[in-house]
């Protein structure tokens, strides 16, 4: 998949089949929409194109209003969103900065400048609740009428349901907030995961006897938080079980080198010996959050923190043992 920041680039396709949205999480509803988009793109002999935004429009308006509570919890980082879009077979992705200019753009101007002139839209697919342009004045009817005048097809996809429940980014956020990782996986069609380059931390876990591999979550408001039993890919030739803390680490002091940033700290229960203590840094890893153990806790001392981590490791081992027993029973 080719990725562009904006559409003023020589390598961008002169014509495309386009869908528009935030695609936070790339859940099963998104996946169904992208499958249809790819089919329509092949039929027309053009690449499929996802037009998405960074920051999320609601992030922008929350910042303008100085009301951070209005910003949506973020399911996925931009990196993970792009990775999942590529896995769905999208040909190109255009990331537009959502700013004052874009937020004030009239709907017809958006159609003319972005869809027609910028992306050469031959086909535009939107969701059933799609709105666009300043004050969300643009809707499906306006887009469809413009398509008939300006020579591109427009289609609308109805909601996607699983077990009579509408699949949406909001539903994924709610499942993550409850700590329902099985429900989240059902909505996503895969385990909930976070990926990125392993970064340095304060190395307190190493001092406590529980070395961690750390990923930054590049948004201040993650949809999930707490302590999880996890599976790690990218450190060995097989997935590694682990226990992870996703959040702001309330037990740490201001000297934490990642202070103020959301961090996913993962202790592998089976650390690969060939890596030593430094071999993970800089590697791209993926951590699947499989089961939530509890919310983040604040410990009053390092000894209490050490004991808490040990309990979490025991609970994670118990979870993996029960999962293996269930898998064995299912095979019998």
pLDDT tens-digit readout, 47-102: 999 999 999 999 999 999 999 999 999 999 999 999 999 999 999 999 999 999 99
- Of the candidates 277, 205, 216, the residue with the CA atom closest to the CA atom of residue 246: 216
Give residue 4's pLDDT band: very low, low, confident or very high (50, 70, 90): very high
Exposure string (b/e) for 49-81, b if CB count within 10 Å is 16 or more?
bbbbbebbbebbebeeeeeeeebbbbbbbbebb
Tens of pLDDT, residue by residue over 280-301, are: 888 999 999 999 999 999 899 8
Q: What is the mean pLDDT of residues 131-143?
A: 96
> Which two structure tokens, joined as six digits, stand for 270?
């089976």
Supply the pLDDT for residue 326. 72
Supply the pLDDT for residue 288. 98
Strand partners, 18: 49, 124
Percentage of the chain with pLDDT > 90? 78
What single string gives the DSSP state of each residue in 235-297?
SSSS-EEEEEEEE--TTS-TT-TTTTS-EEEEEESS--GGGTTTTTTT-EEEEEEEEEEE---
- Angstrom distances, CA of residue 16 to CA of 131, 189, 216, 249: 21, 27, 34, 45
Supply the pLDDT for residue 261. 82
Supply the pLDDT for residue 255. 59
Residue 252: half-sphere exposure toward Cβ, Cα within 13 Å: 22
Supply the pLDDT for residue 331. 62
Strand partners, 154: 124
Range of lowest pLDDT (112-121, 134-143, 224-233, 242-251): 242-251
Supply the pLDDT for residue 260. 66
Q: What is the mean pLDDT of residues 244-271?
A: 78
pTM: 0.92
Place of tokens 């398509």: 147
Distance (Å, rounded) from C-alpha 3 to C-alpha 106? 26
State the average pLDDT for the chain.
Answer: 92
Domains of the chain: 2-162 (3.40.50.620), 194-330 (2.40.30.30)
**Cβ 247 vs Cβ 296: under 8 Å:** yes
User: Is residue 257 scored above 70 in pLDDT?
Assistant: no
Higher pLDDT, residue 39 or 327:
39
**E runs forming strands in 29-141:** 48-53, 92-96, 121-127
């Amino acid at each position: 998949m080719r990725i562009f920041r904006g559409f003023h680039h020589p390598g961008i396709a002169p014509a495309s089949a386009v869908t528009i949205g935030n695609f936070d999480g790339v859940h099963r509803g998104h996946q169904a929409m992208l499958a249809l988009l790819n089919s329509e793109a092949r039929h027309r002999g053009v690449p499929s194109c996802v037009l998405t935004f960074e920051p999320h429009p609601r992030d922008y308006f929350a910042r303008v209003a100085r009301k951070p509570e209005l910003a949506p919890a973020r399911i996925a980082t931009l990196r993970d969103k792009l990775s999942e879009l590529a896995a769905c077979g999208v040909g190109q992705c255009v990331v537009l900065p959502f700013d004052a200019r874009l937020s004030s753009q009239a709907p017809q101007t958006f159609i003319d400048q972005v869809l027609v002139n910028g992306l050469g839209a031959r086909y535009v697919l939107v969701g059933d609740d799609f709105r666009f342009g300043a004050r969300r004045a643009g809707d499906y009817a306006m887009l469809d009428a413009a398509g008939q005048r300006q020579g591109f097809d427009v289609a609308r996809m109805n909601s996607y349901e699983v077990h009579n429940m509408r699949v949406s980014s909001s539903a994924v956020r709610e499942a993550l907030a409850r700590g329902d990782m099985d429900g989240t996986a059902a909505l996503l069609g895969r385990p909930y995961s976070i990926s990125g380059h392993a970064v340095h931390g304060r190395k307190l876990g190493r001092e406590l006897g529980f070395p961690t591999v750390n990923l930054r979550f590049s948004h201040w408001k993650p949809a999930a938080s707490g302590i999880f039993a996890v599976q790690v890919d990218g450190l060995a030739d097989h997935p590694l079980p682990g226990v992870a803390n996703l959040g702001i680490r309330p037990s740490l002091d201001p000297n934490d080198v990642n202070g103020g940033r959301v961090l996913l700290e993962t202790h592998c229960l089976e650390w690969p010996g060939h890596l030593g203590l430094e071999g993970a840094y800089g590697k791209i890893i993926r951590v699947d959050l499989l089961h939530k153990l509890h919310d983040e806790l604040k410990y009053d001392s390092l000894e209490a923190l050490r004991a808490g981590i040990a309990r979490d490791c025991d609970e994670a081992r118990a979870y993996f043992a029960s999962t293996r027993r269930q898998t064995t029973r299912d095979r019998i």
